[in-house]
A and B are shown apart, each in its own frame.
Chain A
Amino acid sequence: MQLIQLIIDGVASGCIYGLVALGFVLIYKATETINFAQGDILMLGAFVAYSLIGILGMDYLTGFALTVLIIAVFGFFLDAVVVRQIIGQPAFATVMLTIGLGFIFRGFASIYWGTDIFSFSTPFSGKITEFNGLIISYVNLSIIIGTAILMSALYFFFTFSKIGVAMRASSENQLAAYYMGIPVKFIFSLIWSISAGVAAVAGVLLAPITLVDTSISLIGLKAFAAAVLGGFGSIPGAIVGGIIIGIVEQLCGTYENYLFEGVREISAYLVLILTLIIYPRGLFSDKAEVKKV
């Protein structure tokens, strides 16, 4: 029973990793760049939600929707104004650029909102439900359900909507998409905005657990493990990878005595390194393989 309890907690935190990893994957699939600032965008999302709900006193759902909208627009212009300029430069330049952007966001957040730890009230805070002796908090439930809703929405968007199909086409082959009359640059900025929006969702869902401060941007780094494990470039892979990482982390935390001290904090990175060494394609890889020497 304790094991199931752990797994449920792991799935909830894993969903957050999965959502952030989803942001990496969307951007990577389309533009072959990795956004190292994804965790910082998540942090911005949590802070904006704090401003709207905690300070301005908006209704939770309205504040949630408005936060996602604001961050999505922000993501759009981030690509259109800054990131687009370095297309075609070596991977190193993108890595450094997005790391620099992450620092700017974090610095901005700590200047604008301050370095205190904030929280805002949600309809889920402090409530739990019991089911066959399992204790499930409403917060965890909200994360799992929120992720499920978002995933199905994205699935339908990419499968049935015209823009979604255009996005898949641009990811598949930029030049061919361009010849078919798809505005590739605009589509890429839209992908950035979706990815930022997803990060904002994760940030708002996470806020009741970790509270809001600048250190939550570190989740972005753990989400790399999720993305790599799922095979960079696969959307379901990102979520599955995230859930696996979440569960592994919970298990390592509980059975720390059998392993070694402090294994919980680095378990995600250990999984990441092991995946890269043993099976760098990841679980759900598509044709975007890791080149081997």
Chain B
Amino acid sequence: MRFIFKTKYSQDINIAKHNGDRFWYSLLILIMVALPLVLDDFYLGEISYICILSIAGIGLMILSGYTGLASLGHAAFLGVGAYTHAFLLTNGIPFYASIPIVIVVSFLVGAAIGIPILRLTGMYLAIATLALGFIAEHVFIKWEHFTGGNRGLPVPQPEFLGMSFYDSVFFYYVCLVFLIAAMFAAINILRSPTGRAFVAIRDSEIAAQSLGVNLGLYKALSFAISGAFTGLAGALLAHYIGYLAPDIFNIFLSLTLLLLIVVGGMGSLHGTVFGAIFVGFLPQLIAICRDYLPSSIGSQPGLEPMLFGLILVFFILYEPLGIYGRWMKIKLFFELFPTYKRQTFKKQKVFTKSDRV
């Protein structure tokens, strides 16, 4: 058990709580930087993809995990980011200028979507975002001047800092830098008054409102910030895929992002990375499952959605805090050993909370 002796209030919002944190996270970054020395191109590509998923996950986590607003249409933001980026690059805007524009555009799109529909709560919001996701997918198909429609849109791979995006080591470093930057930005947003307001809204709208949090403003802000992160991920995803087709940004991708944050652990930034690793390796996991199942079942295309659903249901029912929650429990077990009690995390009996007035 570690006791942190606090002498100043500002210690409450320190990024690193103690030297152990500093040591381990620095070590992690060092290992990530050194990875290209030991891994080949295939695994670097996979890890780049996981970095991109993590950035998108941070976006959705801020909205769903921290502000408590469900979004079933987040693939739309990935699409906005990817198409804007590809469009700008095609028109000769350099990479370093395109990324900030993408972030601003996705932020504005998030705000524009957020302001009208954030008067809705709970499941109405989920339904509305679901519908918006469908409409966005349709817009990507029909707005051919901008997106190339069903023919698709090739993503230019320009030179950046004298390196090419085709170089998987370079692309890996780009993704890693953006992930670290996004993580840092998210941590700072969440320890600022804005982030505290988000959490307050999640825990109780009425309490937040009584403390002077402007619900409409902060919900729209949360949507916009979430859109900006996801749009950035979309821009990187465009480079990763190389060729944009509208059916990439469908409802299944939105639900994959939700799976990511649920499996990783709602309400924790660690969870986004855990969830991204899980989702990134899910296709491989399914491929392994196929080998072990009898071929009559293993060769079925329906296996993937079925496993997807089973994992989702399993986590919602038995581990609502996700992988990160399980990790916290294991950590606590060793910290308190041998006095750990199972009851610490026992689910409390609760009754239906009514939205009705």
Contacts and interface: CB of A to CB of B under 8 A. Distances in A.
A256 to B, nearest CB: 12
Interface in B330-357: 349-357
Interface core residue of B128, B303, B311 (most chain A CB under 10 Å): B128
Contacts, number: 169
Interface in B273-313: 297, 300-313
B152 to A, nearest CB: 17
Q: A-B pairs with the 5 shortest C-beta distances?
A: A107-B306, A103-B309, A110-B302, A88-B350, A100-B312
A90 B134 CA distance: 25
7 contacts: A91-B123, A97-B312, A99-B309, A108-B306, A111-B303, A272-B131, A276-B120
Contacts of B313: 82, 97, 100-101, 104
Contact of B310 (A90, A94, A95, A100): A100
Contacts of A280: 119-120, 124
Interface of B: 64, 68, 70, 72, 116-124, 126-128, 130-132, 134-135, 138, 141-142, 205, 215-216, 219, 255, 258, 262, 266, 297, 300-313, 316-317, 320, 349-357
Contacts of B262: 96
A133 to B, nearest CB: 35
Contacts of B120: 276, 280, 290
Interface in A261-293: 261-262, 265-266, 269-270, 272-273, 276-277, 280, 287-293
Given A87-B351, A228-B124, 14 more contacts: A31-B352, A82-B317, A85-B317, A88-B351, A92-B64, A100-B310, A103-B312, A106-B305, A107-B307, A110-B305, A111-B297, A111-B306, A262-B141, A266-B138
Nearest to A175: B351
A278 B165 CA distance: 46
Contacts of B310: 100, 104
Contacts of B354: 32
Contacts of B70: 91-92, 95
Contacts of A100: 308-313, 316
Given A31-B352, A88-B350, A92-B70, A103 B219 contact: no
Nearest to B216: A293
A277 to B, nearest CB: 5
A215 B258 CA distance: 21
A280 to B, nearest CB: 6
Which of B122, B138, B219, B304: most chain A Cβ within 10 A? B122
Contacts of A91: 70, 122-123, 126, 355
A30 to B, nearest CB: 10
Contacts of B312: 96-97, 99-100, 103
A34 B309 contact: no
B135 A270 contact: yes
A100 B307 CA distance: 9
A282 to B, nearest CB: 10
